[in-house]
Amino acid sequence: DAGVIQSPRHEVTEMGQEVTLRCKPISGHDYLFWYRQTMMRGLELLIYFNNNVPIDDSGMPEDRFSAKMPNASFSTLKIQPSEPRDSAVYFCASRPGQLSYTFGSGTRLTVV
Amino acid sequence: AQSVTQLGSHVSVSEGALVLLRCNYSSSVPPYLFWYVQYPNQGLQLLLKYTSAATLVKGINGFEAEFKKSETSFHLTKPSAHMSDAAEYFCAVSGGATNKLIFGTGTLLAVQP
């Protein structure tokens, strides 16, 4: 089991550019979560999916953010256009039914 | 709505001393409670979880936590701190109809030699 795989590990981009973060959940896990971690706001839940369907996106900060899960083994979080305040570490997590959340290693995004 | 409050954003202990990290929760339904650890520049690793079975939960690396409903607490303890325990620790709650895992603000543990 390779765990939850996120790519890239680090991303530096210029303000206004589109950024796409990727996540491969653990096989068989039917829930997928996207979190953002910043010094100011801590760990915030952005959106989560169940069986590839978005269930709650109330944490998505703005329309610039969008997330998709086209199949059970892949999800993306896109920011377009990016802004410096989007700089953060973005984590993906997956779990089977209840409990047992497993987190990826995160993507550190820097927008300059 | 569910939430957790971690008292003390920074805790410093001496190597070999007791570690006590405090977490209080708020939940309108029976909660599931978790402690995660995050080492610098790494992801979140599960230390232990409470799932309405035994109130005293043992986790990895010698940590344990006790669920106290009357105090709405789930404090994390370790009898003897090790230098390798220096990290940030997060308490989290989940449960009920919501599938969300809600995190506290974290406690940064420093271990002094």
Which pLDDT does position B53 carry in this prediction?
Answer: 78
B33-90 residue pLDDT tens: 999 999 988 889 999 999 877 899 999 999 999 999 999 999 999 999 999 999 999 9
Q: Which residues pair with A65 in a beta bridge?
A: A79
Question: Which amino acid type is present at position A57?
Answer: D
Percent of chain A with pLDDT over 70: 97
Query: Rounded to whole angstroms, how far apart are CA atoms B110 and B113?
Result: 10
CA nearest to A47 within chain B: B100
Nearest beta carbon to residue B43 from set A48, A50, A106: A106
Q: What is the pLDDT of residues A3-18, one digit of tens each?
A: 999 999 999 999 999 9
Confidence of residue B2 (pLDDT cuts 50, 70, 90): confident
For residue A75, give Cα distances in angstroms to A5, A33, A107, B6.
11, 10, 14, 31
pLDDT value at A51 more than 70:
yes
Q: Which of A103, A105, A109 to mutate to test the interface with B (most CBs of B within 10 A)?
A: A103
Nearest CB to A91 within list B32, B44, B100: B44
Q: Is B96 on the interface with A (CB under 8 A)?
A: no
d(CA A6, CA A9) in angstroms, rounded, equals 7
Percentage, residues of chain A above pLDDT 90:
86
Q: Round to whole Å and give the CA distance between B55 and B99.
A: 22
